[in-house]
């Protein structure tokens, strides 16, 4: 392995329910609706894709930029009040950064990626960060992972990807990466997606060099 690429939502921060709450609030305030599987369906989408979903499928009658900007603003306020950093996230990042260059490949908007890493004090560990709004297609397409590998100047097949969701696992696998899954119990990945992972962990506390590369020395 030449590098490690982290997803962010659901891997470093426990954020999926926060996204769901904010999108639901905006949808209902704006005359739209919310379905039980709406958040699940939007997981992995780029900002362009989930905004279109909210407009076309949920009936949110606002301009695309207004939807994106309002969700980002509300999310940023929540994170500044209390960042839901997942247990062992900081330690896992610091541990792997001692051995490999790191990147983030996230479906979050660019301002949210930067804010999370700043508030968590982790920005110095990531040489590259990519938002799926900066590539043609969101997850499960491989674009965001391929762009992160390109930024790191490494072969995608020499990268390990840390993921939690159905679309994220499929995205990293389609990019040819070794996928390490750390599923979230509240939004578990589909069984067929989870089967694509090389390793499945119960928590980030188990994410060690020997998991990324079996020949690596345990740290």
Residues labelled catalytic: 7, 9
**How many Cβ atoms are within 10 Å of 43's Cβ, its own excluded?**
23
Is the peptide bond preceding residue 140 cis, with omega within 30 degrees of 0?
yes
Burial class (CB in 10 A: 0-12, 13-18, 19+), 218: exposed
Contact 182, 162 (CB under 8 A): yes
- Which segments of the chain does DSSP mark as H helices, in order? 16-29, 38-42, 47-56, 64-81, 89-97, 110-120, 143-152, 166-174, 191-194, 209-212
Which tokens is 46 given?
């780029």
The set of residues, in sequence order, having a beta carbon less than 8 Å from that of 67 and lying 6+ positions away, is: 26, 51, 54, 55, 60
The set of residues, in sequence order, having a beta carbon less than 8 Å from that of 3 and lying 6+ positions away, is: 100, 101, 102, 103, 149, 152, 154, 158, 159, 160
Contact 54, 2 (CB under 8 A): no
């Amino acid at each position: 392995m030449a590098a490690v690429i982290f997803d962010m939502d659901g891997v470093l921060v426990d954020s999926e329910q926060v996204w769901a709450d904010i999108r639901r609030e905006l949808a209902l305030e704006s005359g739209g609706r919310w379905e039980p599987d709406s958040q699940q369906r939007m997981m992995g989408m780029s900002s362009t894709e989930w905004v279109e979903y909210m407009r076309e499928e949920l009936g949110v009658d606002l301009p695309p930029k207004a939807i994106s900007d309002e969700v980002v603003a509300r999310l940023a306020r929540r994170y500044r009040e209390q960042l839901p950093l997942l247990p062992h996230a900081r330690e896992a990042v610091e541990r792997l950064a001692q051995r490999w260059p790191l990147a983030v490949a996230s479906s979050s908007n660019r301002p949210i990626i930067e804010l999370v890493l700043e508030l968590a004090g982790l920005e110095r560990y990531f040489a590259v960060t990519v938002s799926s709004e900066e590539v043609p297609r969101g997850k499960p397409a491989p674009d965001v992972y391929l762009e992160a590998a390109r930024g790191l100047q490494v072969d995608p097949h020499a990268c390990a990807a840390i993921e939690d969701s159905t679309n994220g696992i499929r995205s990293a696998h389609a990019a040819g990466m070794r996928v390490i899954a750390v599923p979230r119990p509240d939004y578990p990945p589909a069984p067929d997606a989870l089967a694509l992972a090389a390793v499945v962990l119960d928590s980030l506390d188990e994410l060690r060099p020997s998991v990324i590369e079996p020949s690596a020395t345990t740290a």
